[in-house]
Amino acid sequence: MKFSVYVIYELLMKVQELESEIGDYQSYRKINAGISVITTRDSFDIPAYLLDKQFNNPALISDDDILGLLTTYKPKLPL
């Protein structure tokens, strides 16, 4: 599955509306169920179905979908 980075950016912006401290986009990596987005502060996972929904019909993404992304939040460990 390949998506344009703008799909990830759009979802990140929606997450930032709820959690402004999530950080800025750095990169992503493929995981079993979708992708893990790495930001300047932490990371969180986006399932494949939500990437597809954002690409094909973003109006169908609910606040609950975005809140669900925050449950996968993983803070970066200090160096």
What is the reported pLDDT for 47?
Answer: 96
- The 8-class DSSP code of residue 32 comes to T
What is the reported pLDDT for 79?
Answer: 53
Note whether 19 and 70 are within 8 A (CB).
yes
Q: Which residues pair with 28 in a beta bridge?
A: 37
Q: Which residues contact 77 (CB under 8 A, 6 or more apart)?
A: none
pLDDT digits (tens, 9 = 90+) for 8-63: 999 999 999 998 889 999 999 999 999 999 999 999 999 999 999 999 999 999 99
